[in-house]
Amino acid sequence: MAIRIKVEKKVNSKGEKGYVIKDFELLKRTKLPALYFDLFPHCYADCYDEEIIIEPSHKGNYVTFAKGEFITEKELDSLLDYLHACGENLRKVNQKLRKLEEEWNGTVEFII
């Protein structure tokens, strides 16, 4: 599944150009392989699909981006960089899991 984010161009009350997060498609934590959370950064949707949660490092901190939130161009660039890195980490994990499943298959019989 691809990560998708839809934003709308806006100017806020301070006259700053930016974007409002309109929608996104991202897997929830429970739908991701456990091995993915050993890598950083990783990201997932909250249980209500209202926030993107990014854990950039093992230090326990996280960053959130919510639907309807105004973000600057710099913040959008940062968000997109994180999402790209998260997607790459998930791709690596999925490849590793596929390889392990291919190597570790078959039937074993034990006679005691």
**Chunked mean pLDDT (size 10), the chain, 112 residues:** 93 96 97 97 96 94 96 96 97 97 91 95
Distance CA 42, CA 19 (A): 23
How many domains does the structure of the chain reveal? 1
Residue 107 lies in a domain: no
Structural domain includes residue 80: yes
Range of the domain at 43: 4-102
Q: Is residue 44 part of a domain?
A: yes
Any domain includes 111: no
- Whether residue 110 lies inside any domain: the answer is no
Q: What is the pLDDT of residue 106?
A: 86
Rounded distance between C-alpha atoms, residue 82 and residue 74, angstroms: 12
**DSSP secondary structure letter of residue 90:** H
Q: State the pLDDT at residue 2.
A: 85
What pLDDT score was predicted for residue 105? Answer: 86
Burial of 69 (0-12, 13-18, 19+ CB in 10 A): middle
